[in-house]
């Protein structure tokens, strides 16, 4: 239980740091937020709990393919905001798009031989 709390605290501090930086320096905050910190931390936690090469290779390969459907959200939200749609509606639209694209990737990926 202590290990879980430590993982959550470290992960939370990184997210808080990115959002705090973004208040003063939006570009730098975006850079920090765009870093694959969650993925790297996930790999570290996974490796420390199960140091297996095949598991890690499968995890990192699937992570790559699942990052791709999340990228259009970062194009849609600024477009919607600049067109006058509110933040929450823009965020919801971006999340809905991402969910649809994740579902499409989960369905299509294995049909193209991807191990997801």
Cβ atoms of 28 and 21 closer than 8 Å: yes
Cβ atoms of 48 and 10 closer than 8 Å: no
Measure CA 68 to chain center.
10
Give the per-residue pLDDT at 109: 94
Give the per-residue pLDDT at 1: 81
Measure CA 103 to chain center.
15
Pinpoint the alpha helices (H) of the chain: 2-24, 26-34, 37-49, 53-67, 73-82, 87-111
| pTM as predicted | 0.78
Cβ atoms of 97 and 75 closer than 8 Å: no
Give the per-residue pLDDT at 69: 96
Cβ atoms of 53 and 86 closer than 8 Å: no
One digit per residue, the tens of pLDDT, for the chain of length 116 reads 888 898 888 888 888 888 898 899 998 888 888 888 888 988 998 999 999 999 999 999 999 999 999 999 999 999 999 999 999 999 999 999 999 999 999 999 999 998 88
């Amino acid at each position: 239980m202590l290990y879980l709390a430590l993982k959550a605290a470290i992960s939370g501090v990184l997210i808080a740091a990115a959002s705090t930086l973004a208040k003063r320096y939006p570009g730098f905050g975006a850079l920090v937020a765009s870093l694959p910190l969650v993925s790297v931390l996930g790999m570290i936690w996974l490796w420390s709990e199960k140091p297996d090469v095949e598991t890690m290779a499968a995890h990192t390969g699937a992570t790559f393919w699942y990052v791709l459907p999340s990228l259009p959200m970062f194009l849609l939200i600024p477009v919607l905001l600049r067109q006058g749609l509110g933040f929450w509606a823009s965020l919801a639209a971006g999340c809905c798009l991402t969910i649809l694209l994740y579902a499409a990737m989960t369905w299509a990926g294995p049909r193209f031989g991807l191990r997801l």
